Amino acid sequence: MPFTIAIAGRPNVGKSTLFNRLVGKRLALVDDMPGVTRDRREGAAQLADLHFTVFDTAGLETAEADSLAGRMTAQTERALGDADAVMFVIDARAGITTDDEVFAETIRKCGRPVILIANKCEGAAGMPGMLEAYKLGLGEPVPLSAEHGEGISDLYDAIVATSTDRTVFDDPGMFSDGLERWDPDEEVDQEEHEKAVAALPIQLAVVGRPNVGKSTLINRLIGEDRLLTGPEAGITRDSIAIDWQWRGREIRMSDTAGLRKKARVSQKVEKLSVADSFRTIRFAQVVVLVLDANDMLEKQDLTIARQVVEEGRALVLAANKWDSIENKPEQLQLLKDRIEKSLPQVRGIPVITVSALRGDKLDRLLDAVLKTFDIWNSRVSTSKLNNWLAGITAEHPPPLARGRRVKLRYMTQAKTRPPTFVVFTSIPEALPDSYMRYLSNKLREDFKLPGIPIRIHMRKGKNPYAPDEKKTRGKSR
């Protein structure tokens, strides 16, 4: 297991800025408003040859246990218990506050090695606060400017000193979202392809409107209260990724902020949260869209679903809070009918009825995720595609153009994820949308590709792998 470090401190001392600096990306939301971070976020960090996992946490606050701030603090304390070491961050420009002193005692009690960081030390204004930090009794403070990258070498030394009993020089590895490509005339070894797909880690995003139960669903799946939940809408702000396994398959599961209608999003932090959610969708492979069974498939749900499909991601629908529904068979049929009508371009999307609160049918949901991921990675051999193309064009020929029949000469699969096909034809622009839909629907039906996006690109030209007719005639002479 990689060495893990939790970043803790009161709100607005620069924890998320430091997190982004360590992971080398703007993963955590950063804003001047306190309390932007609410859930623990994990990232693979690197400083020179050091590799470790870092936790960004919510700001420690004194609050009632059942309040939102109190639940955020409980999540932070849980992260401290899971980490191997703690970076306790103070704002050197503000000096040591009463809250800093109270939370220093909390950090001390967690029993983990502590690196005391005096952040915002650029220039002379932070020096008095850094010197004042000695009184916290947590050792020598490391002067740092997370925003400007000053003091990183001192932080490197502090991490090495803290982790002397653990290795931090092993790269924990990162997931990749590369697209598979191959020689189009290479025949497919289906068994080997399926084995390769089964070994791939799955990037899974859980999305939906606010307060539909996304975080509750993830907590129930992983078996712990890892994400902050509650009756308040919009608790989740960052897209939080969790590494997990299901039936031997590696899964990186991301919770996301609730997506409201664009016209209703006005605050800066919510705009950042929404942008972060859509970024997570773009980098996901399978997306679970969580619906509220009591208010299913609103216009916003369909907007999110279409966004997922346009990005080429595999989609699974989870109708949550199904335990509260009466006339379940009738309501399920109505839901499926509306999906087929509203999303005809991805017929056969899996719809699983669940109760995140009770844990009902979550195994069926995950089985649907794995099956959809495998379909999304489907690969069809060139020979099968061209036999299929000859059959369907004989059954339903392409239309006439310029007085001549459009010819579909050759077909191959260019890539997977989603399955993408190229057809070489005489007049690509002459094929109407209705015929393109016909091809797509027949591909989905005949090669068993339900519920996933399919891409078909038309290219002008002959079969690129057929012998050149002029050269052939020349040789025969």
pTM over 0.75: no
Give the pLDDT confidence of 97-116 residue by residue, as tens digits.
988 888 888 888 888 889 99
Sign of torsion over alpha carbons 381, 383, 384, 385: positive
Residues β-bridged to residue 240: 255
Q: What residue segments make up the domains of the chain, in order of their start?
A: 4-162, 201-376, 382-460
Give the pLDDT confidence of 399-419 residue by residue, as tens digits.
888 778 888 989 999 888 899
Q: Average pLDDT over the chain, rounded to whole?
A: 79
Q: Are 274 and 259 in contact (CB under 8 A)?
A: yes
For the chain, the farthest-separated pair of C-alpha atoms sits apart, in whole angstroms, at: 97
* Mean pLDDT value of segment 283-297: 89
Highest mean pLDDT among 2-11, 151-160, 236-245, 319-328: 319-328
Backbone angles phi, psi at 138, to 5 degrees: -110, 20
What is the band of 331 on the pLDDT scale with cuts at 50, 70, 90? very high
Q: Are 279 and 239 in contact (CB under 8 A)?
A: yes
Euclidean distance between CA atoms 62 and 89, whole angstroms: 17
* Mean pLDDT value of segment 247-264: 73
Strands in 100-232 per DSSP E = 114-119, 142-143, 202-208
- What pLDDT shows up at residue 371? 95
Residue 449 one-letter amino acid: L
Residue 420 one-letter amino acid: T
* Confidence check: pLDDT of 238 > 90: no
Q: How long, in residues, is the chain?
A: 477
| CATH superfamily of the domain spanning 201-376 | P-loop containing nucleotide triphosphate hydrolases (3.40.50.300)
Candidates 3.40.30.10, 3.40.50.620, 3.30.465.10, 3.40.50.300; CATH matching 4-162: 3.40.50.300
Taking the alpha carbons at both ends of the chain, their separation in whole angstroms is 70
* Mean pLDDT value of segment 288-298: 88
* Confidence check: pLDDT of 311 > 50: yes
Q: Are 19 and 7 in contact (CB under 8 A)?
A: yes
Exposure string for 74-97, b = 16+ CB within 10 A, e = fewer:
bbbbbbbeebbbbbbbbbbbeebe
Euclidean distance between CA atoms 120 and 439, whole angstroms: 60
- What pLDDT shows up at residue 448? 94
Closest CA to 202 of 313, 354, 307, 360: 313
Closest CA to 81 of 229, 288, 225: 225
CATH number of 382-460: 3.30.300.20
Q: In what order do the strands lie in the sheet with 240-246?
A: 240-246, 249-255, 202-208, 286-292, 314-320, 351-353
Pick the more confident residue, 278 or 330.
330
Closest CA to 207 of 281, 118, 113: 281
What is the band of 178 on the pLDDT scale with cuts at 50, 70, 90? very low
Domains 4-162 and 382-460 share a fold: no
Pick the more confident residue, 3 or 30.
3
Euclidean distance between CA atoms 321 and 356, whole angstroms: 7
Tokens 């060495």 locate to 3
- Tally Cβ neighbours within 10 Å of residue 344: 11
Euclidean distance between CA atoms 156 and 168, whole angstroms: 11
- What pLDDT shows up at residue 70? 57
- What pLDDT shows up at residue 33? 45
What is the band of 125 on the pLDDT scale with cuts at 50, 70, 90? confident
